[in-house]
Amino acid sequence: MNDLTDPDLWNKIASYDFDDPQAEAPFSVRLARENGWAPVRAKAAIDQYRRFIYLVCISDGMLSPSPDVDRVWYLHLTYTKDYWNRFCDETLGQEVHHYPSRGASESQGASLAQRPG
Q: What are the tens digits of pLDDT across the range 13-64?
A: 999 999 998 899 999 999 999 999 999 999 999 999 999 999 999 988 889 9
CA distances from 78 to 25, 71, 84, 116 (A): 14, 11, 10, 20
Q: What are the tens digits of pLDDT across the range 69-93?
A: 999 999 999 999 999 999 999 999 9
Give the H or E element holding residue 27.
helix 27-35
- Domain coordinates of the chain in residue numbers? 7-16+23-114
pLDDT given at position 114: 58
pTM here?
Answer: 0.85
If DSSP states are collapsed to H, E and C, what string results for 80-92?
HHHHHHHHHHHHH
